[in-house]
Amino acid sequence: MRKILKWISIPLTAILISSLLMVFYPRVNIETSNGLVSVGINSLSYVLAADGYFGGSVESADEACNVNILFGSRYQNNVATGNITKIRVYADYGNTSHDYRMGVYSDSSGEPGSILSANNIVVDIADGWTEVSGLSIPVTSGTYYWLVFMVSARSTYVGYGTSGTGFYKTYTYGNLPASVGTHSNTTTNWMIQAYVVESVAAPSISVSPISYDFGTIQPSSTTNTTGNYFTITNNSTISTNSTIQMLASTWTSSGSGWTHSDNASGVNTVAVKVSTDNGTTWSASSFVKYNAPYNTVWTNLAAASSFKFGLSLLAPTSFNDGASNNNTIRITAFQS
């Protein structure tokens, strides 16, 4: 499976108040004495793409294929809409002094139609799978295609199954024809396969606003944003689910730093909660966790729509350095 990623980084800012000095910092910064805090979001989105082979997969026997004959079988693309990037043929006995020519044809009411691939895909034959790559042949999920091949000399034993739809046609070895034309039908499923790479559009998500000042914090205090302060917008054409996480287990600092907790604050230990119901609920299941599994903040967010959330900072019960502490929250959006 492939993942298509996009990050949107939002600086998280803290303001330290130490005696009468106020200092501003550029990332998720929390002072270990009384301070003001700003929080932002780093967001990630991805799609899982289904790639794989379709074609003949069960071998009943093999046959010594003759030269000057075009062979093919009809297969449904049950992988995905995308592009064929590789074609391969299976031989129980091959000879590297011989060549395959392979191609892909459209289906015309159950019969082979027109060639879709470049008509000169040539590769030396070897035992087992012989593959050619570097192709880009657009195909549609659920559609039938004809995968065809020729051999440059006899004594190439290609595997096949016996319960399918195939054809053969006398044709001089060379560039494959633009269309198959007259041919003889068979029930042969040749061991020829095509590899499809799914075409996927990367989700596009955005967040607004990019920062928030919590104000002055005290030991053991709880400080909230408004319940719907942050907005995540799904700018893509697919629905998404979203999780929330803290990116580091330790809030970095020029001092001793804070430990991030997944469930409670403590001595030099901070925790953060999220609310998606306008601040009504800040439950145990709403902690922003560093350790997986992460909590889900939204499911099935429709394309071109958005959701809102707020954050709650649970300050350490006590802290003993006066430096700024930094961390980053990430929203991960993935295809529903």
Q: Where are the domains of the chain?
A: 2-47+202-335, 52-198
Which of 273, 297, 276, 279 minimizes the C-alpha distance to 227? 279
Are the CB atoms for 207 and 230 separated by under 8 Å?
A: yes
* Better-scored residue on pLDDT, 182 or 251: 182
8 A C-beta contact, residue 162 and residue 187: yes
Model pLDDT, residue 120: 62
What are the φ/ψ torsions at residue 83 (nearest 5 degrees)?
-135, 135
Q: Any idea what the Cα angle at residue 127 is, between residues 131 and 165, rounded to 5°? A: 65
Task: Name 303's Cβ contacts closer than 8 Å, sequence gap at least 6.
Answer: 234, 236, 237, 238, 239
What is the pLDDT confidence band of residue 316, given thresholds at 50, 70 and 90? confident
pLDDT of residue 75 exceeding 70, the answer is yes
Largest Cα–Cα separation, the chain:
93
Q: Write the pLDDT tens digit of every residue in 24-58.
A: 222 333 332 333 334 445 555 445 557 899 999 87
Distance, CA of 330 to CA of 308 (rounded, Å): 15
- CATH number of the domain at 52-198, out of 2.60.120, 3.50.4, 3.40.50, 1.20.120? 2.60.120
The confidence band for 18, taking pLDDT boundaries of 50, 70 and 90, is very low
Strand order in the sheet with 329-335: 6-9, 41-46, 329-335, 240-246, 295-301
Q: Does domain 2-47+202-335 have CATH number 1.10.1200?
A: no
Residue 39: per-residue pLDDT:
44
Smallest CA-to-CA distance from 134 within 195, 86, 102 is with: 86
From residue 297, give the alpha-carbon distance in Å to each of 45, 67, 206, 232, 277.
Answer: 14, 62, 15, 11, 10
Does residue 186 carry a pLDDT above 80?
Answer: yes
Model confidence pLDDT, tens digit, residues 197-227? 987 766 677 778 777 666 667 788 888 888 8
The contacts of residue 226 (CB under 8 Å, 6+ apart) are: 279, 310
Q: Which residues of 193-203 are buried (b: 16+ CB within 10 A; e: fewer)?
A: bbbbbbebeeb
Region 295-324: mean pLDDT is 84
